[in-house]
């Protein structure tokens, strides 16, 4: 067998399947409320993220007349496989909402069981579901019996020191779930401390469905490190991708050339303006720009200029000048 054949064969076979959905790749943009919107998510997909997860959407909003869910769940076919992520605390409402959004033709529907925000967790949704294993079992049973698409779950390690992640992972599997993503922190930890990769490894060892590990993947080397350490099928990159979306092209931030930066900025800004209109699109784009433009290396004056509200055309012109000077 020639080396070329082996190479082609390698690149064209899926890394793993989520039930019958093939996933080509092992590095995925983590769902992030307020960040993994269509412009950023589809940009990361173009840069190499293996699939897309939407920001989470509240089931009550899906079942209302609100226009917000449609905006959050918007996608184009090139983004596939696309996972819609939802959250709620009532199994019947979760099912009703999932059936409603299934009509939009996602590849997968995911239940968020990890959000630690007070307003969500304390009413029993997000990570607030984890202290109620029976409710999780009922919810997954209902979802997997009624939906055509695979159903997956994203969890934390538990509510507090009393971590029940292994139990919850097994319940998801036993009730038809097709994948479990594990953020290696408890609700109490929120985003502090180190993510516990041993726990991700324990989940992987205790279920047969694929497992995605999440937490503290910041550099390219961390991707292989987490996979090797935990045997997980893929890793998610959250905050690390905000500082370096090129991680999906297996580049650390310092390896990205000024030309690549300019190209990505142009693409991201164009998507943001297309999606939100010029004014909102330019404004919303800034919160990403401050993260991935290596602002600390720019002069105070340039930083101030970048953060000043201006139409997208002017912004690009200014950026051209900045990068001609610093390149
Ligand atoms: C701003 C922000 C928003 C997030 N929103 C979501 C969300 O909507 N759904 C979800 O499952 N996880 C959410 N997460 C958790 C991430 O998906 C991820 O599991 C976590 O940030 C740990 O990964 P990291 O260390 O790579 O950031 C969010 C995290 C951050 C920082």
Among 28, 32, 121, name the best residue to mutate to test ligand 1's pocket (greatest count of ligand atoms within 8 A of Cβ): 32
Q: Average pLDDT, whole number, for the chain?
A: 93
Q: Is the CB of 215 under 6 A from ligand 1?
A: yes
C-beta separation of 199 from 163 below 8 A: yes
Average pLDDT over residues 241-260: 95
Is the model more confident about 32 or about 321? 32
Provide the pLDDT for residue 297.
76
**Quick check: 199 pLDDT over 60?**
yes
**Quick check: 64 pLDDT over 90?**
yes
Read off the tokens for 287.
């919160």
Provide the pLDDT for residue 165.
98
| Residues assigned a catalytic role | 115
Average pLDDT over residues 202-222: 98
CATH number of 257-326: 1.10.1200
Band the pLDDT of 10: cuts 50, 70, 90.
very low
Provide the pLDDT for residue 324.
63
**Quick check: 316 pLDDT over 80?**
yes
Residue 214 CA, ligand 1 centroid: distance in Å: 8
Q: Is the CB of 89 under 6 A from ligand 1?
A: no
Whether 257-326 and 14-250 are alike in CATH topology: the answer is no
Provide the pLDDT for residue 1.
38
What is the secondary structure of 85-142 as a DSSP string?
A: EEE-S-HHHHHHHHHHHHTT--SEEEEEE----HHHHTTT-GGGGTT-HHHHHHHHHH
Residue 116 CA, ligand 1 centroid: distance in Å: 10
CA distance 102 to 95: 10
| Backbone φ and ψ of 237, nearest 5° | -120, 120
Average pLDDT over residues 69-80: 97
Q: Is the CB of 41 under 6 A from ligand 1?
A: no
- For residue 237, the ligand 1 atom closest to its alpha carbon is 26
Residue 181 CA, ligand 1 centroid: distance in Å: 11
The ranges assigned to domains in the chain are 14-250, 257-326
Task: Give residue-wise pLDDT tens across range 253-296.
Answer: 999 998 999 899 999 999 999 999 999 999 999 899 888 887 77
**Quick check: 243 pLDDT over 60?**
yes
Band the pLDDT of 8: cuts 50, 70, 90.
very low
Class of domain 14-250: alpha beta
Q: Is the CB of 112 under 6 A from ligand 1?
A: yes
């Amino acid at each position: 067998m020639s080396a070329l054949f082996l190479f082609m064969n390698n690149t064209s076979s899926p890394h793993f399947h989520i039930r019958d959905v093939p996933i080509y790749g092992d590095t995925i943009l983590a769902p992030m409320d307020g960040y993994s919107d269509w412009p950023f998510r589809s940009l990361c997909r173009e840069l190499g993220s293996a699939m897309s997860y939407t920001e989470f959407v509240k089931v009550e909003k899906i079942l209302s007349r609100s226009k917000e869910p449609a905006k959050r769940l918007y996608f184009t076919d090139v983004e596939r496989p696309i996972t819609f992520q939802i959250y709620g605390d009532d199994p019947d409402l979760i099912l009703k909402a999932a059936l409603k959004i299934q009509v939009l033709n996602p590849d997968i529907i995911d239940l968020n069981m990890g959000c630690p925000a007070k307003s969500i967790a304390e009413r029993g949704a997000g990570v607030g579901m984890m202290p109620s294993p029976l409710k999780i079992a009922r919810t997954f049973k209902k979802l997997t019996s009624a939906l055509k698409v695979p159903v997956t779950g994203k969890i934390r390690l538990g509510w507090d020191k009393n971590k029940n992640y292994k139990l919850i992972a097994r319940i998801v599997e036993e009730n038809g779930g097709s994948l479990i993503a594990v953020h290696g922190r408890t609700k109490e930890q929120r985003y502090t401390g180190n993510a516990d990769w041993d726990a991700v490894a324990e989940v992987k060892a205790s279920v047969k469905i694929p497992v995605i590990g999440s937490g503290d993947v910041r550099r390219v080397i961390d991707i292989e490190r987490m996979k090797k350490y935990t045997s997980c099928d893929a890793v998610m990159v959250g905050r690390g991708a905000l500082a370096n979306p090129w991680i999906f092209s297996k580049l650390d931030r310092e390896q990205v050339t000024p030309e690549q930066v300019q190209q990505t900025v142009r693409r991201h800004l164009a998507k943001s303006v297309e999606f939100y209109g010029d004014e909102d699109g330019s404004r919303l784009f800034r919160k990403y720009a401050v993260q991935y433009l290596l602002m600390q290396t720019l002069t105070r004056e340039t930083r101030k200029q970048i953060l000043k509200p201006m139409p997208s055309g002017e912004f690009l012109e200014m950026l051209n000048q900045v990068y001609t000077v610093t390149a």
